[in-house]
């Protein structure tokens, strides 16, 4: 797989470098708030923007990404809830298969239907095993996916799911408690999954503090994704970015 961004994930993992991804929901990003977010992110050293969500109502993904691309060099990765969110303006596509669920549509069905369109987009594709973990409340992803999340205390299920995903050839594991989760994924689960797979691990859902971001990195997460908490207060980007980027230099 010749993919610059993915190679960067691997290089960083090998060096123990952790990354911060800010999740942008195009529905909520008006131009003023987006410009402010970009400015704060550049200053704080944010590594990636993820754009998308389980349910995007407006048709503004292209516009949102164009605004980001014309204002900064932070790479944009699509994190799509459905094929309709594919935008050729992004740098790469997290090509998600919901391997924690048993809904064939999100495992492979939608991929089949959209394959020609995705290929034609020319996007760098990063095959990603998507694990939804119970976040203590019904989240949009748990409702929309129509698939049971992994119970938050069943570390073994998460380990085996991630291992199977890696052996199937997926290149990243994304562990997600869902946007606005009441309970983020435990460090215990992250640590055990990280010990059992070699591919990079993205962790998100319900992370609201620099402390939790830091602890997740220490537990083995390679990329921390935060959306909701930043929508509420974009200024936390600075502190959270420092916590993530200090988690490896302080070791």
Nearer to ligand 1GP, 23 or 237 (CB): 23
Q: Which of 68, 94, 173, 226 binds ligand 1GP (CB under 6 A)?
A: 226
Q: Is residue 176 a contact point for ligand 1GP (CB under 6 A)?
A: yes
- Per CB under 6 A, does 181 bind ligand 1GP? yes
- 228 touching ligand 1GP, by CB under 6 A: yes
Q: Are 132 and 146 in contact (CB under 8 A)?
A: no
The C-alpha atoms of residue 244 and residue 211 are separated, in whole angstroms, by: 9
Distance CA 66, CA 60 (A): 10
**Closest residue to ligand 1GP using C-beta atoms:** 204
Considering only 3-11, 110-118, 152-160, 177-185, which stretch makes contact with ligand 1GP by CB under 6 A? 177-185
Q: Does 227 bind ligand 1GP (CB under 6 A)?
A: yes
**How big is the site for ligand 1GP, counted in residues (CB under 6 A)?**
14
Query: DSSP string of 229-251?
Result: HHHH-TTHHHHHHHHHHHHHHT-
Cα gap 51→43, rounded to integer Å: 19
Q: Does 172 bind ligand 1GP (CB under 6 A)?
A: no
Residue 180 binding ligand 1GP, by CB under 6 A: yes
What is the pattern of x (binds ligand 1GP, CB under 6 A) and - over residues 9-38? Answer: --------------x---------------
Q: Is 97 helix (H, G, I), strand (E, B) or coil?
A: strand
- State yes or no: residue 210 binds ligand 1GP (CB under 6 A): no
E strands, the chain, in order: 19-24, 48-51, 76-78, 92-97, 124-132, 172-176, 201-204, 223-226
Among 207, 219, 223, 224, binds ligand 1GP (CB under 6 A): 207
Structure-block tokens of residue 68: 């980001």
Phi and psi at 238, nearest 5°, equal -60, -50
> Which segments within 177-222 are labelled E, that is strand?
201-204
CB of 225 to ligand 1GP, least distance (A): 4
Strand pairing partners for 48? 21
C-alpha dihedral over 22, 26, 28, 34, to 10 degrees? 60
Span near ligand 1GP by CB under 6 A; candidates 29-37, 61-69, 109-117, 198-206: 198-206
Determine, following the binding rule CB under 6 A, whether residue 98 of this chain makes contact with ligand 1GP. Answer: no
Q: Is 204 in the site for ligand 1GP (CB under 6 A)?
A: yes
Instruction: Rule CB under 6 A: say whether 229 interacts with ligand 1GP.
Output: yes
Which residues of the shown chain bind ligand 1GP in the complex (CB under 6 A)?
Answer: 23, 176, 179-181, 204-207, 225-229
């Amino acid at each position: 797989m010749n993919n610059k961004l993915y190679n960067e994930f691997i290089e960083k993992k090998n060096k123990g470098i952790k990354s911060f991804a800010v999740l942008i929901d195009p529905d909520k990003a008006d131009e003023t708030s987006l410009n402010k977010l970009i400015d704060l992110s550049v200053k704080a050293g944010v590594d990636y923007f993820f754009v998308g969500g389980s349910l995007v109502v407006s048709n503004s993904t292209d516009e949102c990404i164009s605004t980001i691309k014309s204002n900064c060099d932070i790479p944009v990765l699509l994190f799509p809830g459905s094929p309709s969110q594919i935008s050729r303006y992004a740098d790469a596509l997290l090509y998600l298969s919901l391997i924690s669920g048993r809904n064939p549509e999100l495992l492979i069905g939608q991929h089949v239907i959209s394959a020609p369109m995705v290929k034609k987009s020319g996007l760098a594709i990063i095959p990603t095993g998507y694990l939804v973990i119970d976040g203590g409340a019904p989240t949009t992803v748990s409702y929309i996916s129509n698939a049971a999340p992994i119970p938050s205390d069943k570390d073994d299920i998460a380990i085996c799911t991630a291992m199977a995903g890696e052996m199937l050839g997926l290149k990243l594991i994304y562990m997600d408690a869902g946007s606005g989760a009441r309970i983020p994924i435990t460090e215990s689960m992250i640590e055990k999954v990280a010990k059992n797979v070699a591919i990079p691990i993205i962790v998100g859902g319900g992370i609201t503090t620099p402390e939790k971001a830091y602890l997740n990195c220490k537990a083995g997460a390679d990329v921390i994704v935060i959306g909701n908490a930043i929508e509420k207060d974009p200024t936390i980007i600075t502190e959270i970015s420092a916590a993530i980027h200090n988690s490896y230099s302080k070791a």
